[in-house]
Structure 1
Amino acid sequence: MARRGAELREHIIDTAKWAFLESGFERTSMDAIATRASTSKRSLYAHFPTKEALFMAIVERSQELFEDSLRSPGHYCADDPAEAAALFCARFLQLLDWPPILRTCRLGISEAEHLPEAAVQLHQVFIGTVTDGLTDHLAAAYRLDRAAAADLATRLLGVTVYPAVFRGLFGGTPSDRRGSAPTEATLAEDVDLPAVREAVRALLP
């Protein structure tokens, strides 16, 4: 049975995401996406009038999935705010190290001049929202004002996450692994948790 309505829209977004990740925005045509999605150009344009609109839909979908996967610091440990912060940073690192997310970050950077709105939103997805969530947690847990909590959140992410992410961004093309995103169950296998915990506790009040 042919896909229709919302089901077709989601299928197009998922198909286009992989097409963009593999070939880049400029080199991926709407004709190619329609063929790959097994739909007509008319149906494709009915949902997304431009390639830019389709790309923004992919960004919005990425935000939903990423936020659902990461959650808030309090989700990881309700009783120990330091452990909650450490596990939150570790989970963030685990997700950012997953090839599809890493490649999405690269795509946003490469298209920043052509699609500045999408690049800004991707930055908000992978950096801004995370920093805000950690800031809220630290402000509440340690009774810090917003500016002090934001500074502390930035420093925590700076020592636990960003060095590894920058290595990934500049370390060659990641493998084309399309399986499900890494789960919390494998956090200790995917991330050096003792190192993250040590770095976090060294900076906390």
Structure 2
Amino acid sequence: MARRGDELRDHILHTAKDVFLETGFERASMDALAARASTSKRTLYAHFESKDKLFLAVVDLVRELYLDRLRTPAEYADDDTEAVVLFCGRFLQTLLWAPTLRMCRLGITEAERLPEASARYYDAIFDSAHQRLADHLGLRYGLPAADRTRIAHDLLGRTLHPRFLRALFGTEQLLTERPGKESIAADVDLAPIRAAVAAALPTRR
């Protein structure tokens, strides 16, 4: 049975995501995208009036997928401190997964021509992660807004450096298999994250 309506749109989006990651934005023509999605170019344009609009929709899709994988700190452990450690580890682990890293590079490549898309992707990958961590610190540690925001930025910044930057520039081996929460400790060195968390968070009495 032929796909229609929302099912077809969803299929086009997932297909376009794969094509953009494989070939980049410029080389991904609407003809190629339609052929890969097994639909007509007319149908493609009926759902997305331009390649720019399609790319923006792909960015929104990636945002949903990423945030669904990242989850919130409280979902990683009952112990509040361990939850922060594992959330930071999951943050780095997810960014080191090859498709996520390629999307980061694609966002940087298109930043001047499609700043809206790059801004949306940055918000999804970085700002949303900071906000989720800051919210956890406020809820579980009672930290005021300024302190929890500062600590969240500091912890995630320390988590990223230097491994994410090495990966971004192609000098770090990427994770090729979809990373799961159960493999955080195997994929990421949690020792420096634990030290940073212990130094940053207030001591509980």
Q: What TM-score, normalized by structure 2, do the two folds share?
A: 0.92
Provide the residue aligned with 2:97 in structure 1. Answer: 98
Identity of aligned residues (%): 52
Comparing 165-174 with 118-127, greater Cα deviation is found at: 165-174
Provide the residue aligned with 1:147 in structure 2. Answer: 146
Runs of 4+ in 1 over 6 A off after TM superposition: 173-176
Provide the residue aligned with 1:67 in structure 2. Answer: 67
Match of 1:74, SS? helix
Shift of 1:26: 1.6
Shift of 1:200: 1.6
Provide the residue aligned with 1:190 in structure 2. Answer: 187
Q: Is the 8 A contact 2:96 2:174 kept in 1?
A: no
Match of 1:200 among 193, 197, 200: 197
Shift of the 115–174 alpha-carbon distance from structure 1 to 2, 3 Å rule, reads farther
Shift of 1:94: 0.8
Shift of 1:157: 0.7
1:59-106: CA deviation from partner (whole Å, max 9, x where unpaired): 11111111111111111123x221111010001111000000000011
Shift of 1:173: 9.4
Q: Is the 8 A contact 2:74 2:136 kept in 1?
A: yes
Provide the residue aligned with 1:29 in structure 2. Answer: 29
The runs of 5 or more residues in structure 2 that have no matched partner are none
Shift of 1:174: 7.0
Provide the residue aligned with 2:114 in structure 1. Answer: 115
Match of 1:17, SS? helix
Match of 1:45, SS? helix
Aligned counterparts of 1:39 and 1:12: Cα–Cα separation in 2:
9
Shift of 1:15: 1.2
Q: What TM-score, normalized by structure 1, do the two folds share?
A: 0.92
Provide the residue aligned with 2:166 in structure 1. Answer: 167
| Counterpart residue type for residue 203 of structure 1 | A
Superposition RMSD in Å: 1.8
Shift of 1:176: 9.9
Shift of the 172–22 alpha-carbon distance from structure 1 to 2, 3 Å rule, reads farther
Aligned counterparts of 1:19 and 1:28: Cα–Cα separation in 2:
7
| Counterpart residue type for residue 170 of structure 1 | F
